[in-house]
Amino acid sequence: MTHLKGSILVSIILFSFLFSFGQTPTIGLLYEAPGISPGYTLFTPENSGQVFLIDECGMVVNEWLFSEHPALTCYLLPNGNLLRAGKNNSLELRDWDNNLTWSFYIDSAGISQHHDIEPLPNGNILMLVRDIYTEAELLAMGSDPALSTGGRNFEKVVEIEPIGTNQANIVWEWKFKDHLIQDYDQTKPNYGVIGAHPELLNMNYVTGLEPYDMIHTNAIDYSAELDQVLITARHTSELYIVDHSTSAAEAASHAGGNSGKGGDFLWRWGNPEVYQPGLGIPQKIFLPHDGKFVDSSYPDSNKISVFNNRGDGTNTFSSIHLIEPVMSGNAYTLGSLGFGPTDFDWSWTDDILGTPFYESKKSGTHALPNGNILICENSRGRISEVTKNGEIIWVYINPAAASINTQYSDPFAVLNFIFRAEKYPTDFVGFFGKDLTPTGIIENVNMKSDTCAGLLSVVENYLDAIRIVQPSINGEIVFSESIFLDKVELYDMKGNLVLETLNFNGERISFGMEKGVYLMMLRSNGHLRTMRVLHL
């Protein structure tokens, strides 16, 4: 361990010395500090066909190139393939080497996707889709003529099953239109008392925004554990959870599925005035984006993260929140003040490296495996990581601007927008067997990345040099020499954590497990090495 500490110290001194002669970067990696959640960040610039996967030093470890701009997100799949929506109403799957494996023009199915998609564990894809009705249809539903818009987009969710290389089947859909209520015209359908039906959407609610686009959904997420779908609606300033276990017929009704409630809202949160008018219950989020279920294996499991664009409604700052829905058994709890909770579980808002944190639209956030939070600001093209204590520990600005391979020194001189960024942990199954060797930065020069990469190399070389005596005998894992690690984890082949040791310092670990094959994860300074252990 003495050699490692000495090597790291020398590296820090050497690279800090070199960095002092370099210009402070304005794009790419701007800041990094200890405590970063190990992983790789994926983003697709809005104004190019590129998609980048970068490490914590801003080094590209993989890149994809599409023929059109995004609309608007992309996701890595467990097999390492990339799923991306395009501007021309298309979906594409590309493998790790950028080969096109499946494409589908959504227009051919008579639907128009927008903003977000969500890959499902079974290989299907959820999409946010426009669902437009004429003025005559709206009046027949009980719409107030005073709110006439000439038509309205009520939105729907469609699930498609990819077929072959360029086909897809629609296998499920859910519509807001099937879950409306109105108190304007008792001769029309959907008539009732708004406050008595929190499971339905008041179709005559006035948002003060674009009346034609009353709801304006912008994000969709899925919980495999709950088999539920989370929808973020910008204009109503609400988050909605609906039951995905329903059949298509049940999703259009008020009964069926695991919840027994069909496609009605199981939970909604953010703006109680929409479903409890006149009670004066404070609004909590304003024009939000990117509501997500926190992964069930993460520290904040069972919570929901959201990017709150307009802060407290004064339009002067943005904020990030974690929300923990209140449940009784398997049902979400509704009290006199609306669906719980009454307040946020955790909140953050502050400047980032001295610049304001405010985005009036788009942008995103999500929780990370170590409890940190990733934040993406759209118009700045800025991705940051913050701890639960509120400390900024990583900042990166997208260097890829309005055209492919454009480099620049002023991050606000060109359009380097990013709708959203996703971060995947180093042990993400889609990385297994993939070449993650850094190929360099996107921008022309960044001494901060060079400094980071030099230190990273020292840590990775140390991890790579660790050896264990195989096979493990008598319930002990024996290393070839004394080592120091931040954490050692041991998993059985079913993925169960059977041993966890923090701040390990020594030559051997004892454990009383059954004989078999185990997966050992060694962590140091935010980096990971995975090894197989045979226990005889």
Phi first, then psi, for residue 330 (nearest 5°) are -100, 5
CATH architecture of 26-445: 7 Propeller (2.130)
CATH architecture of 466-535: Sandwich (2.60)
DSSP 232: E
Distance in angstroms (rounded) separating the CA atoms of residues 209 and 362:
16
pTM of the model: 0.84
> CA of 321: how far to CAs of 41, 101, 151, 243, 345, in Å?
21, 37, 34, 23, 7
Nearest CA-CA partner of 388 in 403, 406, 401, 369: 369
Dihedral angle, C-alpha 126, 137, 264, 281, nearest 10 °: 110
Q: Coil, strand or helix: which one is 220?
A: strand
Distance in angstroms (rounded) separating the CA atoms of residues 442 and 445:
9
Nearest CA-CA partner of 523 in 463, 443, 458: 463
Which class for 118: exposed (0-12), middle (13-18), buried (19 or more C-beta within 10 A)? Answer: buried
H and E: helices and strands count for the chain: 4, 38
Contact 138, 154 (CB under 8 A): no
DSSP 163: E
DSSP 295: P
Nearest CA-CA partner of 24 in 411, 401, 351: 411
Distance in angstroms (rounded) separating the CA atoms of residues 239 and 376:
19
Q: Coil, strand or helix: which one is 352?
A: strand
Domain ranges of the chain: 1-25+446-465, 26-445, 466-535
Q: What is the pLDDT along the chain (536 residues), one digit of tens a residue?
A: 333 333 333 333 333 333 333 468 889 999 999 889 989 999 999 988 999 999 999 999 999 999 899 999 999 999 999 999 999 999 999 999 999 999 999 999 999 999 999 999 999 999 999 999 999 999 999 999 998 788 999 999 999 999 999 999 999 999 999 999 999 999 999 999 999 999 999 999 999 999 899 999 999 999 999 999 999 999 999 999 999 999 999 999 999 999 999 999 999 999 999 999 999 999 999 999 999 999 998 999 999 999 999 999 999 999 999 999 999 988 999 998 899 999 999 999 999 999 999 999 999 999 999 999 999 999 999 999 999 999 999 999 999 875 434 444 444 445 899 999 999 998 899 998 899 999 999 998 999 998 888 766 666 667 777 888 765 667 788 888 888 888 888 877 666 788 888 888 888 887 776 777 887 788 887 667 777 777 76
In sequence order, the 6+-apart residues with CB closer than 8 A to the CB of 381 are 45, 397, 398, 411, 416, 417, 418
